[in-house]
Structure 1
Amino acid sequence: MRRYWRIFREFFRTCLVEELEYRSEFVGNLLSSLFGIGIAILTIHIFFYQTNKLGGWVYEDVLLLLGVFNTLQGLIDFALRPNMSRLLQHIRKGTFDYVLTKPIDSMFYVSFRHLVFWRLIDVLLGIALVLYALVQKQYIPSLADVLIFCVTICSSFIIIYSLWMLLMTTAFWVIRMDDLSFVFNSFFETTRFPIGMYRGWLRIALTYVLPAAFITSTPALALLGKWDITAAAASILIAGVFLWLSRRFWRYALRSYTSASS
């Protein structure tokens, strides 16, 4: 574990040096992130012109949920999105052979080799929106609330990573499937709003088939002091199960990979 932490720090340092060469892009990226979160808040305002609650959540609660969503989206765009698209390119162009020759776990390498630091702006904006929502609600989370929030949001990130990795690993067989990321993005967008606003089969699917209900709602409820130890434990268990499945599927895919030269 210590060895992989050192390798990740080296990835971090290398990517940071690369991005510092283009510091002039920071302002443009900041404005883009501000515009994105502004549109999201405006969308929530439009919803609340027609109702006092959205899926059983009041306005301040939905703002906090949006902050959690934006924080996770920033982490995804910082670490996952830059790498998942490259996996398709590695397999298609045959450069995945070079990944396999490196003295490091291939799944770890393709998951965290490239980092986009300006996307951390979205993480900061998400945290700022969470704090603003708590101030508006006039609620101060307890130490237990913060602890459960940290545990559940880490579980959420692992669930997101595992689901996306499961999806992208299918590229070993369907290498021209360029819209795999679009499928994941469509799923992740459903977590922007309370799960209670969905009805019928869609709500059942997002709760029991694809664990969207645990990704943003559980961490948000934790900060609001409405956490349930059973739900928190379930999010940890689900994260562990999906991580194990993604690892097993990755190993199975490697056995099916025949390399570019064969």
Structure 2
Amino acid sequence: MRRNLRIFREFFRTCLVEELEYRSEFLGNLLSSLFGIAIAILTIQIFFFQTDQLGGWPYADVLVLLGIFNTLQGLIDFALKPNMSRLLQNIRKGTLDYVLTKPVDSMFFVSFRHLVFWRLVDVLLGLGLVAYGLWVKRYVPTLSDLLIFLVTLFASLVLIYALWMLLMTTAFWVIKIDDLSFVFNSFFETTRFPIGTYRGWLRIVLTYVLPAALITSTPASALLGNWSVGATLITVVVAGIFLWLSRLFWRYALRSYTSASS
């Protein structure tokens, strides 16, 4: 673990130096992020012109949920997204050899080698929206709320990472899929709204098969004081199970990898 942390620190440093070479892009990216979150808030307000609740959640609670979604989206775009597309290319071209020959855990390397720092703006905007939602609700989280929120938010990140790795690892066999990331993004978009907004088989799938209900709803509920020890434990356990499965699947997939020298 310590070795991986040292390696990540080097990834962080080198990527930050690269990002600082293009400072002029920051303003444009900031405006783009502000526009995106403004559109998201406008969409929520349009819904609430017709109803008092969305999936059983009042307006302020949905703002908190949307803020958490945006925070997670920023973290995904900061670390995961720039690496997953490169993973597909490395598998297809057989250039994953470059990673496998290094004295470092291959799954860790392909997951965090490239970082896009300006996407952290989305994290800050998301946290700002969370704070605004709490202000609208006139609710001040207790210390217990904040601790449970941090635990469930971290578990959500682990779950997101594990689900995406499980999907992307299928590229070792399904090499003709143009962009597996699009599949994951479509799934992640479902967490933008409370799980109660979905009906029928879709709600069952997003709750029990692909645990989208845990990703944003659980941290939001924790921050709003509606958490329970049972729901927190379930989130942590599910995240741990999926991370373990993604690790096993990655190791199994490497046996099917055909390198550029094969």
Q: Same fold (TM over 0.5)?
A: yes
**Partner of 2:86: helix, strand, or coil?**
helix
**Partner of 1:107: helix, strand, or coil?**
helix
Task: State the 4+ residue runs in structure 1 displaced beyond 3 angstroms.
Answer: none
Q: CA deviation at 1:91?
A: 1.2
Deviations, residues 7-29 of structure 1 (Å, cap 9, x unaligned)? 00000000000000000000000
Mind listing any 5+ residue stretches in structure 2 that lack a counterpart? none
**Aligned match of 2:139:** 139
Aligned 8 A contact 2:91 2:257 in 1? no
**Aligned match of 2:257:** 257
**Aligned match of 2:58:** 58
Q: Distance in 1 between matches of 2:108 and 2:78?
A: 15
**Identity across the alignment (%):** 79
| Pairing of 1:1-262 with structure 2 (within 5 A) | 1-262=1-262
Deviations, residues 80-112 of structure 1 (Å, cap 9, x unaligned)? 000000001111222101110011011000000
Q: CA deviation at 1:229?
A: 1.0
Q: Distance in 2 between matches of 1:85 and 1:49?
A: 39
Deviations, residues 210-246 of structure 1 (Å, cap 9, x unaligned)? 0000000000000100001111100000000000000
Deviations, residues 174-201 of structure 1 (Å, cap 9, x unaligned)? 2221221111011000000000111111
TM-score (norm 1): 0.99
**Partner of 2:103: helix, strand, or coil?**
coil
**Partner of 1:178: helix, strand, or coil?**
coil
Q: Distance in 2 between matches of 1:178 and 1:163?
A: 18
Q: Distance in 2 between matches of 1:252 and 1:88?
A: 17
Aligned residue type for 1:137? K
Q: Distance in 2 between matches of 1:19 and 1:236?
A: 34
Deviations, residues 99-142 of structure 1 (Å, cap 9, x unaligned)? 10011011000000000000000000000000011111110000
Q: Distance in 2 between matches of 1:174 and 1:183?
A: 13
Mind listing any 5+ residue stretches in structure 1 that lack a counterpart? none
**Partner of 2:161: helix, strand, or coil?**
helix
Q: Distance in 2 between matches of 1:46 and 1:92?
A: 44
Deviations, residues 7-54 of structure 1 (Å, cap 9, x unaligned)? 000000000000000000000000000000000000001100100000
Aligned residue type for 1:186? S
Let me know the Cα RMSD of the aligned residues.
0.6
**Partner of 2:21: helix, strand, or coil?**
helix
Q: Distance in 1 between matches of 2:109 and 2:176?
A: 22
Aligned residue type for 1:201? W
Q: Distance in 1 between matches of 2:105 and 2:90?
A: 15
> How many residues are aligned here?
262
**Partner of 2:255: helix, strand, or coil?**
helix
Aligned residue type for 2:177? M
Aligned residue type for 1:226? N
